[in-house]
A = this chain, B = another copy of it.
């Protein structure tokens, strides 16, 4: 989704893809393993700036590119905090950013001690590789994480966090250039179902100016403190006593920012490109009072996505449908729908109706 804004801006874009696929329609696409230094190095030899659409490129690869003189954004020193949740928690503690209580735990004894101190429950996370609820487990007894401890390599540990009494989840997007300029998007509400983002409402309904400013400040502190370049998404908990706590970080265009493609003057994919290329950043102002993004999950069984497009478009003449060229399977994010409008409830209904056409 960075390709279209790159073409419009006249930026020559190359893609290193894992597999043949939608983006491999680009002649400039190389196919190869992003974990393989030679592959990435060969790819990077022809470009001015390297960026990513996920966090999984190994530190060794990133650091080798930097040593080669390649501009890597976000850089390895920032990206490691999105790659490792223990590193992230430790760094946010240093920065004084509000977050859930947490601990590094190497065994069930340490986990049980944390649970006992936090009402008997907690969220255990694998520091690396988690995604959309994977690598996350709510436990009320330390033995429930026994299998994860058994799988740990010598010296490794798990993360445990307090189970935050949150009333809803928010997300704050920030874009930051290497030269320092940063811009914030309005804080949004993210609605999760089964551990996966289902809907996003921009701006978050009923957030007062104080909380909106607090979310933007947290985003700016993290972007600055971690030296993030490109788009940063800060997933937040809003607690029943009105606190805002950091849940997760992503250093790339993120599901919680998809609304901006059709709902803001500058979409997050264009903004990420502008940020990593150190170009002046774009305005983040919404184009309508409300934008709603609804993920298309699973998608049709036994029918191609494209066959559902007529029904989706018929559901609302203002529905903006985005498909990812992925084969649908239950629970997989295969696209999303954005609708912008003046009234939240009717906007949300139209977005849901268009997304439901794919179900």
* Chain A residues at the B interface, C-beta cutoff of 8 Å: 3-4, 7-12, 22, 24-29, 183, 265-266, 274, 279-283, 285, 287-288, 305-306, 309-310, 313-314, 317-318, 320-323, 325, 335, 340
Contact = CB atoms under 8 A, between A and B. Distances in A.
A71 to B, nearest CB: 15
13 contacts: A3-B4, A7-B25, A7-B325, A10-B309, A10-B323, A11-B306, A11-B309, A265-B318, A265-B340, A266-B318, A279-B309, A279-B310, A279-B313
A8 B279 contact: no
B340 A305 contact: no
DSSP majority for the A interface?
mixed
A320 B245 CA distance: 35
Contacts of A283: 317-318
Contact of A10 (B274, B305, B320): B305
A317 B11 CA distance: 18
Nearest to A315: B280
A7 B287 CA distance: 23
Nearest to A339: B265
Given A27-B27, A310-B279, A313-B280, A285 B318 contact: yes
Nearest to A322: B8
Contacts of A11: 306, 309
Contacts of A340: 265, 287
Contact of A7 (B4, B309, B317, B318): B4
A279 B313 CA distance: 7
A182 to B, nearest CB: 13
Contacts of A323: 8-10
B26 A25 contact: yes
Contact of A4 (B4, B266, B285, B335): B4
Contact of A314 (B9, B183, B280): B280
